[in-house]
Chain A
Amino acid sequence: MKQYFGDSYVVFLRSMTLSLQNPIWVLVSIMQPILYLALFGPLLVQVAGVPGFPVGDSWQVFVPGILVQLAMFGSLFVGFGIVAEWRSGVIDRMLVSPASKNALITGRVMRDVIMLIVQSIILIGVAFLFGLRIGPGAIFASLVLVGLLGAAFSYFSYAAGLWLKSEDVLAPMINSIALPLMLLSGILLPMSLAPRWLQIVSDFNPIKHVVQALRSVFRGEYLNFETILGLFLALSVLSVAAIVGNLAIKSQAR
């Protein structure tokens, strides 16, 4: 266990340093939340008057969706990085070391989550400039939910990268999974606007419940059914993802 954390930390340190040494990566990571907000925001403010739109200030409804979108698109594509690292021999080199195999993934997920948290704080900060008002408790709770979800997506993406070992296969696969998940989560448009059958389908999408939990938290309601369900589902998805990620790295020595 001690070795697992120690090794994870080394792997985290390595990937974080490599990321921060890349100025373009840093710039894009900072601009991404700002762009999302600046480009989608005004659109949503217009839609917010439509009947069936969830309760709450339009920013309180909209920012949670953008946060989840950030988590999805930031984390789902980290698999590309691991394909590149595998190709340059880094993964094999680490697998031949006595380091814990799970740590090789976990350390990278830690980097992704910390980056996502920083991006989320930037996003919430910019949203404040646009007029969002939420308390520190809500900020903390939303960062936890977003972090859990982001970690889950990272694990899945690394697993897919390690199994497929090809950017050309990875890209369409991620897109074909991310798009329906996103459309059926009420990120862009609330599912309460959707026809009945679509709402039922979307009930099976855990992401939707995490979005709803976030919206609930943003309204200042911390302990209702929605938040507890959202947190529970986020934890469950993360557990499954972590298992899948660990299986993927273990199955490298086949």
Chain B
Amino acid sequence: MPEIGTMINVRGLKRSFKTPKGVIEAVKNISFEVKRREIVGFLGPNGAGKSTVLKMLCTLLRPSDGEASIAGFDLLRDAKQVRRHIGYVSQSGSTSPEARAGDEIVWHAQLYGIDRNEAKERGKHLFDVLDLEGQWEQKCGSLSGGQRRRLDIAMGLIHQPELIFLDEPSTGLDPQSRANLWDHIRKLREDFDTTIFLTTHYMDEADALCDRLLIIDHGEIVGRGEAKTLKSQVAGDNIKLTLRDNRDTQKAALCSESIAIAQPIISGNLVQIMVKDGAASLPKLAAALNEGGVEAIGIEVSQPTLNDVFLSLTGRSLRD
């Protein structure tokens, strides 16, 4: 029995797809919990299985195995109740380009049994909250990317769900709209007490929004916890050297081997060196480079990022 404060409880969830090329195990064996009023994020690269998990939890895909309870209802036995209590904002949008934004949200509300007047009132309120005033009569297709994403979120909130699933909420938006959207998402919890479960492959989004992260790769959760804790578990800091050319990067990598705690990573004219303590290593590195006759044109020390966390967990960078 999950405790009262549990909004999502997932046990041994699996999903495979049969394709002409063979069976893809998109989600291998996933278990996790989300508490009421938490903002939890799935962080993982493309194809990690994030959307597949989300679709299963929203009753859009049947799990191959495992079980889950959502907002206190069993995902498989009580799918209709689950649907009543959740909102879902898919990765690919939710509106017809030809439909007027206001019409679309009112019709959507009616599918939840909300009557037209009530739907209009709630819709207009959500449009205000999400900075969509004046877009009620606009066709969805003529909205900007950021506006359309906020409209998707408004659609997902029209029935005042306790829990909302956001699949890649800010993909495709410019930096300013993203930061703006994050503010809106944080406010959902303050204003409506909504529990939020989102997926992202951006570490800044995960950093900015989530209380807690589940790091997913190849259909498995490889790390979990607060961003701060995860980062502190990565041993050491990063030193990034910028060099003039490829010959220099090779030499610099060689010079730094004595102080690095992992194999230096070369990408273009950059060398990334993982060290135990950034501040203490810097003079040693400078001396080593000097001795090797390499001149760095840039040097930068940084604390570990979520990318480093991902790197240390999987041996790969989030971005490739």
Contacts and interface: CB of A to CB of B under 8 A. Distances in A.
Interface of A: 3, 6-7, 10-11, 13-14, 17-18, 21-22, 85, 87-90, 92-99, 252-254
A96 B92 contact: no
Interface of A is mostly: helix
B62 A96 contact: no
Contacts of A87: 92
Given A10-B110, A96-B88, A97-B108, A89 B94 contact: yes
B192 interface: no
A90 B60 contact: no
Contact of A89 (B61, B62, B93): B93
22 contacts: A10-B110, A10-B111, A14-B107, A18-B96, A21-B100, A89-B90, A89-B93, A89-B94, A92-B88, A92-B94, A93-B90, A93-B108, A94-B108, A95-B60, A97-B108, A97-B112, A97-B159, A98-B80, A98-B113, A99-B112, A253-B59, A254-B62
Nearest to B58: A96
Contacts of A21: 98, 100
Interface string B79-104: 01001101010101111111110010
A135 B295 CA distance: 98
Interface of B: 58-62, 80, 83-84, 86, 88, 90, 92-100, 103, 107-108, 110-113, 152, 155, 159
A90 B94 contact: yes
Contacts of B110: 10
Contacts of A90: 94-96
A14 B108 CA distance: 9
A93 to B, nearest CB: 4
Given A88-B92, A90-B94, A98-B84, A7 B111 contact: yes
Given A14-B103, A93-B94, A98-B112, 14 more contacts: A3-B113, A17-B103, A18-B96, A88-B92, A92-B60, A94-B108, A96-B58, A97-B83, A97-B108, A97-B159, A98-B111, A98-B113, A253-B60, A254-B62
B119 to A, nearest CB: 10
Contacts of B92: 87-89, 92
A222 to B, nearest CB: 40
A22 B96 CA distance: 13
Contacts of B97: 88
> Top 8 A-B pairs ranked by shortest CB distance?
A93-B94, A99-B111, A89-B93, A97-B111, A89-B92, A10-B110, A96-B88, A14-B107
Contacts of A92: 60, 88, 90, 92, 94
A89 B94 CA distance: 4
> Taking each of A17, A92, A98, which has the highest tally of chain B beta carbons within 10 Å of its own beta carbon?
A98
A87 B93 CA distance: 9
Contacts of B61: 253-254
Contacts of A10: 107, 110-111
B165 to A, nearest CB: 9
Contacts of A18: 96, 98-99
A90 B92 CA distance: 9
A14 B110 CA distance: 11
A96 B59 CA distance: 7
Nearest to B110: A10
A89 B92 CA distance: 6
A18 B83 CA distance: 26
Contact of B155 (A13, A93, A95): A93
A92 B55 CA distance: 9
A88 B93 contact: yes
B197 to A, nearest CB: 14
Contacts of A89: 90, 92-95, 152
> Taking each of A17, A87, A97, A253, which has the highest tally of chain B beta carbons within 10 Å of its own beta carbon?
A97
Contacts of A22: 98
Contacts of B107: 10, 13-14
Given A87-B92, A88-B93, A89-B92, A96 B98 contact: no
> Taking each of B58, B88, B96, B152, which has the highest tally of chain A beta carbons within 10 Å of its own beta carbon?
B96
Contacts of B62: 253-254
Contacts of B111: 7, 10-11, 94, 97-99
Contacts of B96: 18, 85, 88, 90
A24 to B, nearest CB: 11
A95 B88 CA distance: 10
Contacts of B100: 21
A232 B152 CA distance: 45
A93 B88 contact: yes
Nearest to A25: B98
A7 B80 CA distance: 14
Contacts of A98: 80, 83-84, 111-113
A88 B96 CA distance: 6
